[in-house]
Amino acid sequence: MAITNATDQNFSQEVSDGLVLADFWAPWCGPCKMIAPVLEELDAEMGDKAKIVKIDVDENQETASQYGVMSIPTLLVFKNGEKVDQVVGFQPKEALAELLNKHA
Active site residue 84: no
Query: Is 49 considered catalytic here?
Result: no
For 38-55, how does the pLDDT look when each residue is reduced to its tens digit (9 = 90+)?
A: 999 999 999 899 999 999
Supply the pLDDT for residue 15: 97
The predicted pLDDT at position 77 comes to: 98
Condensed to tens digits (0 to 9), the pLDDT of residues 62-79 reads: 999 999 999 999 999 999
**Catalytic option among 6, 15, 22, 32:** 32
Nearest partner of 72 among 82, 81, 63, judged by Cα = 63
Query: Which among 87, 92, 91 has a CA at the least distance from the CA of 76?
Result: 87
Q: Which of 29, 36, 84, 88 is catalytic?
A: 29
